[in-house]
């Protein structure tokens, strides 16, 4: 049995498919015959040459579009791709371990990263992102040169890999994937969020999973307990037969809730929206009768393109989503890059800590060539659909005002071209940076609505990286400091008369619903698969009791005490009468 962190609940049973991931594509790891080694060498040489040529072209293109200093990064990466040591190490591994070149390259890059990340020198540590980037690029080239159908996922296979970038997840035929096991990431990583929104059981942070599990192994993935059984005994299989039957019964029990309103026991309606990243999960949001989309993460649509999608391409995909939901509201968030959200065609300057570097609106404001086409596409959608625009990673008032200035310019351009749009398109701000949370009242007056992004807010308040599994014990959404801050943001929204919707993952846990209602939240946006359980918790709550619970929780000194309070009968549990 291997242990990790359960990041998407449910049980998956099936055959392992161990893959190596590039930027947007993946290939199986497999054993080879000694006679195949020469063919693998030729493939590696061709991929290294193609990656070097791509980098040179990118250096030129980015130099022209974004300036020479942004382009320098690709010069350094070209040198890394041409490093004979890298080539030699990969080929040695192919020969000695008799594995395909994709598997060998992944292992070598992983080894480099482990060495770099262990060095206290900050300059070297900053290079880790470059090494990872180079590895992905060469892998992508290797995989894509094989043709688009190089990865066929057998129905129900359990995909095992080192790290699953959101861009790869978005392209995997996820409806065929039974479950996911990854070495990196934790509950609040973007691929985990995507797995939850698609209802695919997943475990992250399983050390050396892609080496310890082999393609063809029989696996049981328990996404709740965070364990994976490799070639389990019949007794374990029997235990999971029973557990799966219970889970199915639990789901059926909730299905009657689809048609019932989201309303507390004492009659307060609590809008329940869906968090969505791609067209596929709009279908489950519709099936569970979401009141609308409270958070549409646009970065996934960017990550399935090989280059920036044009305004028209963006318009088409956004309009399709808005049409499916019409006349319900869709909140489209502007491209939120930075942290672990990267695009192979958009260079991020090296940063010691990507979560504290250029991100969200700050990055967009530096790149009007990226911001403007997206705003134009969104405004065109707003002409016929109730679309709102949400700003990611807002730190303060200036950023909102600067975006509004660009919005006005874009509106003037569209008007001059005779293109229709909603001149009063609602503009909202994510509250996910502590400064924004602390000045929520002032920000609320500046915008039409607020969205509480607890995934980032928790990492910034507690100084605990949401992507780093080693710091996961300190990433505590129930920390009394976090709860106090959430309570104060809810108060600020009420006093400014603005809607505040929680769209962070914390809002999707039904064990937190009562506490969040007690802290003053009156609108939830959660993964489609979590909607019914949250609705059930809302319908079981009386607001007076919820307020008492919240008041007691914020007075406590530790997460353990808050958890104990939520676990008490009559406290975290549903009202008895
Ligand atoms: C958040 O930070 O809570 C959020 C909803 O945004 P994301 O998870 O996409 O960063
Ligand atoms: Mg966020």
How far apart CA 237 and CA 233 sit, in angstroms, is 7
Residue 398 CB neighbour total at 10 angstroms: 10
User: Whose atoms come closest to the Cα of 467: which ligand?
Assistant: 1
Helix (H) or strand (E) run with residue 74 in it: helix 68-81
Helix (H) or strand (E) run with residue 446 in it: helix 440-446
CB distance 507 to 454 below 8 Å: yes
CA of 222 to the centre of ligand 2 (A): 27
- Level-2 CATH architecture, domain 157-252: 3-Layer(bba) Sandwich (3.50)
Q: First and final CA of the chain: distance in angstroms? A: 42
CATH 3.20.20.60 residue ranges in the chain? Answer: 260-569
Which protein residues are within 6 Å of ligand 1, measured from CB?
A: 193, 295, 297, 336, 432, 453-456, 503-504
Protein residues near ligand 2, an ion, with CB under 5 A: 432, 453, 456
User: Whose atoms come closest to the Cα of 505: which ligand?
Assistant: 1
CATH 3.50.30.10 residue ranges in the chain? Answer: 157-252
Report the residue among 339, 461, 501, 504 best suited for mutation to probe ligand 1: largest number of ligand atoms under 8 A from its CB.
Answer: 504
At 166 the pLDDT is 67
At 170 the pLDDT is 65
At 550 the pLDDT is 98
CA of 454 to the centre of ligand 1 (A): 7
At 572 the pLDDT is 44
Q: Does the N-terminal peptide bond of residue 137 adopt cis geometry, omega within 30 degrees of 0? A: no
How far apart CA 222 and CA 285 sit, in angstroms, is 24
Which residues carry out catalysis? 190, 503
Report the residue among 277, 335, 336 best suited for mutation to probe ligand 1: largest number of ligand atoms under 8 A from its CB.
Answer: 336
CB distance 239 to 197 below 8 Å: no
CA of 187 to the centre of ligand 2 (A): 13
Report the residue among 456, 462, 501, 530 best suited for mutation to probe ligand 1: largest number of ligand atoms under 8 A from its CB.
Answer: 456
CATH 1.10.274.10 residue ranges in the chain? Answer: 30-142
Q: What are the residues whose beta carbons fall under 8 Å from the beta carbon of 413, sequence distance 6 or more?
A: 376
At 23 the pLDDT is 67
CA of 410 to the centre of ligand 2 (A): 25
- What's the DSSP call for residue 156? T
Q: Which bin fits 147, alpha (ψ -120 to 50), beta or left (φ > 0)? A: left
Residue minimizing CA distance to atom 7 of ligand 1: 455
Residue minimizing CA distance to atom 6 of ligand 1: 453
For 30-142, give the CATH class: mainly alpha
Third-level CATH fold of 260-569: TIM Barrel (3.20.20)
Q: Give mean pLDDT in consecutive 10-residue pieces for the chain, a chain of 577 residues.
A: 91 92 76 92 94 87 75 84 93 94 89 81 73 85 71 86 75 82 84 82 91 92 93 90 81 88 98 87 88 93 83 95 95 92 78 87 94 98 98 97 98 98 98 98 97 97 89 94 98 98 96 98 94 96 98 96 83 44
At 92 the pLDDT is 96
Residue minimizing CA distance to atom 1 of ligand 1: 453
- For 67-78, the pLDDT digits (tens) are 777 778 788 888
């Amino acid at each position: 049995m291997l242990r990790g962190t359960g990041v998407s609940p449910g049980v998956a049973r099936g055959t392992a498919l161990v893959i190596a991931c590039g930027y947007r594509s993946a290939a199986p790891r497999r054993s080879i015959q000694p006679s195949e080694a020469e063919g693998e060498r030729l493939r590696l040489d061709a991929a290294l040459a193609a990656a070097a040529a791509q980098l040179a072209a990118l250096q030129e293109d980015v130099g022209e579009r974004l300036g020479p200093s942004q382009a320098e990064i690709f010069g350094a990466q070209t040198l890394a791709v041409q490093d004979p040591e890298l080539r030699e190490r990969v080929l040695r591994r192919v020969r000695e371990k008799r594995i395909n070149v994709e598997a060998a390259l992944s292992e070598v890059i992983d080894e480099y990263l482990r060495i770099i990340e262990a060095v206290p020198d900050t300059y070297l540590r900053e290079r880790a992102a470059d090494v990872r980037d180079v590895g992905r690029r060469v892998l992508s080239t290797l995989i894509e040169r094989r043709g688009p159908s190089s990865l066929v996922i057998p129905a129900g296979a359990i995909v095992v890999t080192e790290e699953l970038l959101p861009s790869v997840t978005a392209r995997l035929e996820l409806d065929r994937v039974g479950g996911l096991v990854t070495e990196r990431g934790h509950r609040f990583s973007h691929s985990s969020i995507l797995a939850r929104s698609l209802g695919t059981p997943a475990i992250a942070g399983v050390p050396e999973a892609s080496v310890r599990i082999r393609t063809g192994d029989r696996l049981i993935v328990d996404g709740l307990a965070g364990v994976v059984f490799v070639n389990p005994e019949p007794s374990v299989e029997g235990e999971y037969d029973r557990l799966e039957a219970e889970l199915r019964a639990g789901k059926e029990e909730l299905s009657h809730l689809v048609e019932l309103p989201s309303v507390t026991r004492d009659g307060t309606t609590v809008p329940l929206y869906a968090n969505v990243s791609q067209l596929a999960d709009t279908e489950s949001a519709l099936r569970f009768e979401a009141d609308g989309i409270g958070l549409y993460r646009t970065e996934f649509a960017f990550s399935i393109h090989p280059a920036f999608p044009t305004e028209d391409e963006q318009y088409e995909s956004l309009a399709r989503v808005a049409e499916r939901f019409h006349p319900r509201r869709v909140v489209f968030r502007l491209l939120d890059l930075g942290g672990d959200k990267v695009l192979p065609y958009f260079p991020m300057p090296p940063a010691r800590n990507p979560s504290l570097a250029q991100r969200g609106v700050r990055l967009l404001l530096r790149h009007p060539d990226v911001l403007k086409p997206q705003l134009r596409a969104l405004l065109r959608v707003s002409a016929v659909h109730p679309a709102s625009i949400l700003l990611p990673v807002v730190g303060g008032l200036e950023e909102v005002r600067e975006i509004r200035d660009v919005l006005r310019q874009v509106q003037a351009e569209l008007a001059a071209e005779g293109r229709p749009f909603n001149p009063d398109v609602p503009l909202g701000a994510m509250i996910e940076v502590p400064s924004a949370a602390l000045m929520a009242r002032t920000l609320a007056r500046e915008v039409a609505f607020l969205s509480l992004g607890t995934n980032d807010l928790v990492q910034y308040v507690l100084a605990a990286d949401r992507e780093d599994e080693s710091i996961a014990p300190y990433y505590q959404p129930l920390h009394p400091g976090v709860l106090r801050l959430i309570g104060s943001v809810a108060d600020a929204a009420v006093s400014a008369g603005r809607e505040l919707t929680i769209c962070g993952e914390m809002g999707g846990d039904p064990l937190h619903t009562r506490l969040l209602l007690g802290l003053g939240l009156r609108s939830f946006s959660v993964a489609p698969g979590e909607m019914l359980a949250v609705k059930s918790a809302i319908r079981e709550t009386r607001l007076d009791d919820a307020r008492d619970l919240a008041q007691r929780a914020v007075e406590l000194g530790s997460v353990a005490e808050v958890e104990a309070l939520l676990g008490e009968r009559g406290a975290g549990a549903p009202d008895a009468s």
